[in-house]
Amino acid sequence: METLASLGDGFAIALTWQNLMLALLGCFLGTVMGALPGLGPSNGVAILIPLAFTLGLGATPSLILLTSVYYGAMYGGRISSILLNIPGDEPAMMTCLDGHPMARKGLAGEALSLSGIASFVGAFLATWGLIVLAPQLVKIALLFGPAEYFALFALAFMTLGGVSSTNQAKSAFAAALGLGLATIGVDTQTGVPRFTFGEVHLYDGLDFLVAIVGLFALSEVFIFLEHRHGGSDADSRKLKIGKLYPPMSMIKSCTPTMLRTSFLGFLAGVLPGAGASLGSFISYTMEKRLVDKENTFGTGDPRGVAAPEAGNNAAAGGALVPMLALGVPGSGTTAVLLAVLLALNITPGPLLFTQNPDVVWGLVAALFIANFMLLAMNIPMVGLFTRVLMIPSRILMPIVAMVSFVGIYGISGSSFDLLVMIGFGVMGWVLRKLDVPLVPIILGTLLGNAMENNLRRAVTIDNGDWWTLIDSPLSIGLWAIAVIGFILPLIVGARVKAKMHQRRDEEGAISD
C-alpha cells in the first residue's frame, strides 16, 4: 500500500504541463532515434543529454525526458526492422526475422501495430516489475559492503562480453580501455593526482558526459562523413503500410507469448550488463521452442514479431531496477542514464529511495505516462515515423553535430571539454571501424572509479586482508554468478552468437 501511495505522489509530480510536454518530446525524439538505422537508444540518450542540461532542467524533468527517449527508442527500433529489414537498433534485430516477412506479405501495418502493442505490454509489465522489485532490492542493499559492491561490479563486467558482442576479447579490451580512462584524475583514496600531467582540467577525471557524447554521437557524424558519397540509407522507396489495426484473433493468439516474454525480458534486463539485446534474443528463441509447432517462425509469424518486441521493452524496464536500487546499470543505455544522474548530483543506490523519493516515483509515473503516449504515437501515427526514415543523413548529421557541440559547451563552458569530446569522437570512429563495442568503454569509465575504490575500501577496512573479498555468502554468490556468466558464453556462446547475428546487415556498434 505504501508503494501505491508513493506512486500516487509520483503521478502528482509527473502530471505537470512541463513534465508532460517533456515526456511527449522525449517519446517522439526517442521513437525517431530508434527508427533511424544506426542511432540506438544509447546514442539517442547521449545526443539529448546536452539538451536536457542546456534547458536548465532539474533532476526529475531531465530524467523524464531522457527515460522517455530510452523507452521511445525501444519502440522505434522495430519500425525499420519491419519495413526495411534493417534493425533500427540492436535489440530490434530479432524483430527483422518475422517482421519483414510479414511486411512482404502485405501485412506491414499489422506487423507495426502488433509490435507496438507487444512493446506496450512488455514495457507496462516491466514498469510494474520495477515498482515491486526495486524497493525489495533496496532492503537487501544494506548487505552490500565494499567487498560485495566490488563483486557486483566484477559481475557487471564479466557478463558484459557474453551474448551482446561479436567478440568477447574485443569487449574485454573495451572494458579495460574504459577502466584505464577512469584512473585519470585525483585518486580519492590517497589524494594523489594520476595521469593529469599538471593539467587542472583533468584533476576531476574525464567527464563521462563528454566521453559519451563524443563516443556515440560524434563518431556517428564521422562515420557519416566517411560514407557521404553513399547518399541516404533509405532512399525514397515507397513504403506500403496497409491496414493499421491487427485483427482481434491475431492479438489473442499472441497474448500468451507477450506475457511470457515480458517476464523473461524483464529478468534479462535486471541482470547487470546483459541488456535489451539479450532480452529480445532469448524471448524469441524461447517462443520458437515453445510454440513454433508448424515451423512458421521466420516466415512472418505474428508471434515471432510480438515475442522480441515484448522482450526487449521489458528488458529496458528491468535494466532500470539495478541502476536505481544499487547504482549498477543493467545495460549500456542505463549506464548513460546513470552518468546523467551523477551529473545532476544524485547518487543512485539504496539512499535514493529515501532521500529523493520524488525523483524515483516521479520517474516511475513518467514511465507509465510515456508508455501510453508511445502506444498512441506508435499505432495511429506510425506513418509519420516511416516518413522520418526518409530524412537524408546529410540533414540529420549536422543537427547531431550541432547539438553535441552547443550542448557540451553549454554544460561546462569549457573549450577543453570540446577538445576532449572530439578526441573521444575520433576514438569512437576508430573503434567502430575495428568493430570494438563502445558500451563497455562507457561502463568502464563510469564504474571504474567506484569499482577500484570499493576494492581498496574493503581491503583497507580489513587491514590489508584480501580474503575479505570473499568472506560473506553474498559476495561468494556474486562471484560464482560472475564466473559462470563469463565462462558459459565461451562454451555455448559461439552457437548463440552465430544465430543472433546471422541477420545482422548493419555495421557498427549499435548495441544497447
Partner 1 sequence: MKLFGTGGVVAAAVFALTGFAANAAECIAPANPGGGWDFTCRQVGKSLQDLGLIDQTMQVVNLAGGGGGVAFAEVVNKRNDDNELIVAASAATATRLAQGAYPGNTMDQVRWLAAIGADYGVIAVAADSPINTLPELLDQIKADPSSVSVAGGSAVGGWDHLKVLIAANAYGIDDVRSVKYIAFDGGGEAVTQLLAGSVQAFTGDISEAKGFVDSGDIKVIAVLAPERLPGEFADFPTAKEQGVDAIGANWRGFYAPGGMSDEAYNDWVSKIAQLYASDEWKEVMAANGLAPLDLQGEDFQNFVADSVAQIQAISKEIGIIK
Asked whether 444 and 179 are in contact (CB, 8 A), the reply is yes
DSSP letters for 154-217 = HHHHHHHSTTTSS-HHHHHHHHHHHHHHHT-EE-TTT--EES-TT-GGGTT---HHHHHIIIII
The distance of closest approach from Cβ of residue 122 to partner 1 in the complex, given in angstroms and rounded to an integer, is 26
| Per-residue contact string for residues 184-223; x = within reach of partner 1 by CB under 8 A | --xxxxxx-x----x-xxxxx--x----------------
Residue 59 in contact with partner 1, rule: CB under 8 A: yes
Q: How far is the CB of 411 from partner 1 (least distance, A)?
A: 7
Q: Which of 1, 248, 395, 491 binds partner 1 (CB under 8 A)?
A: 395
Identified binder of partner 1 from the candidate list 248, 249, 295, 413, rule CB under 8 A: 413
CB 125 within 8 A of CB 263: yes
- Comparison of 144 and 368: residue with beta carbon closer to partner 1: 144
Closest C-alpha to 174, from 442, 510, 424: 442
Query: Residues with Cβ < 8 Å from 277, sequence gap 6 or more?
Result: 90, 91, 93, 163, 164, 312, 500, 511, 512
Closest to partner 1 by CB, 142 vs 494, is 142
The least CB distance from residue 410 to partner 1, in Å, is 5
Q: Tell whether residue 4 is a contact of partner 1 (CB under 8 A).
A: no
> Each residue of 228-263: b (16+ CB within 10 Å) or e?
eeeeebbeeeebebeebebeeebbeebeebbebbbb
CB of 44 to partner 1, least distance (A): 13
Cα–Cα nearest to 126, from 436, 468, 371? 371
Q: Single out the residue of 7, 376, 391, 422 in contact with partner 1 (rule: CB under 8 A).
A: 391
Nearest distance from residue 412's CB to partner 1, in Å?
Answer: 5
What is the rounded CA–CA span in Å between residue 472 and residue 327?
A: 21
Under rule CB under 8 A, residue 411 binds partner 1: yes
Q: Is 5 in the site for partner 1 (CB under 8 A)?
A: no
Choosing from 349, 428, 440, 485, the residue that interacts with partner 1 (CB under 8 A) is 349
Smallest distance from the beta carbon of 190 to partner 1, in angstroms? Answer: 5
Site string for partner 1, 444-473 (x = CB under 8 A): -----xx--x---x--xx-x----------
Binding mask 124-153 for partner 1 (x = CB under 8 A): -----------------xxxxxx-------
Smallest distance from partner 1 to CB 328, Å: 13
Could you tell me how many residues of this chain bind partner 1 (CB under 8 A)? 66
- Give min distance, CB of 234 to partner 1, in A: 14
Q: Which stretch binds partner 1 (CB under 8 A): 129-137, 211-219, 388-396, 421-429?
A: 388-396
d(CA 35, CA 246): 21
Matching residue, cell 516477412: 101
Do 135 and 364 touch, CB atoms closer than 8 A?
no
Indicate which single residue of 34, 53, 91, 153 sits in contact with partner 1 (rule: CB under 8 A): 53
Question: Which residue's CB is nearer to partner 1, number 98 or number 148?
Answer: 148
- Min separation Cβ 391 and partner 1, Å: 6
For 413-472, where are the alpha helices, taking DSSP H only?
Answer: 415-433, 439-461
| Residue 410 touching partner 1 (CB under 8 A) | yes
User: Interface with partner 1 by CB under 8 A: which range of 370-378, 411-419, 429-437, 503-511?
Assistant: 411-419
Q: Based on CB atoms, which residue is closest to partner 1, 133 or 450?
A: 450
Regarding 347 and contact with partner 1 (CB under 8 A), the answer is yes
**How is residue 96 written as a grid cell?**
527483422
Amino acid identity for residue 286 in this structure: M
230 makes contact with partner 1 (CB under 8 A) = no
Q: Angle at the Cα of 151 (from 150 to 154), degrees rounded to 5? A: 90
Q: Could you give the dihedral angle defined by the CA atoms of residues 478, 481, 487 and 491, in that order, rounded to the nearest 10 degrees? A: 180
Q: Quote the least distance from Cβ 121 to partner 1, whole Å.
A: 28
The piece of 15-23, 176-184, 213-221, 414-422 that touches partner 1 (CB under 8 A) is 414-422
Q: Which amino acid does the sequence have at 465?
A: D
- DSSP lists the bridge partners of residue 186 as 193
Closer to partner 1 by CB, 353 or 429: give it.
353
Q: Which residues contact 293 (CB under 8 A, 6 or more apart)?
A: none
Question: Would you call 133 exposed, middle or buried from its count of C-beta atoms within 10 A (0-12, 13-18, 19+)?
Answer: middle
For every residue of 297-349, DSSP letters joined together read: TTS--HHHHHHHHHHHHHHHHHTHHHHHHHS--SSHHHHHHHHHHHHTT---S
At 236, the amino acid letter reads S
- Answer yes or no whether residue 343 interacts with partner 1 by CB under 8 A: yes
> CB-wise, 34 or 485, nearer to partner 1?
34
Q: Which residues bind partner 1 (CB under 8 A)?
A: 25, 28-29, 32, 51, 53-56, 59, 141-146, 186-191, 193, 198, 200-204, 207, 343-347, 349-351, 354-355, 384, 387-388, 391, 395-396, 399, 402-403, 406-407, 409-414, 416-417, 449-450, 453, 457, 460-461, 463
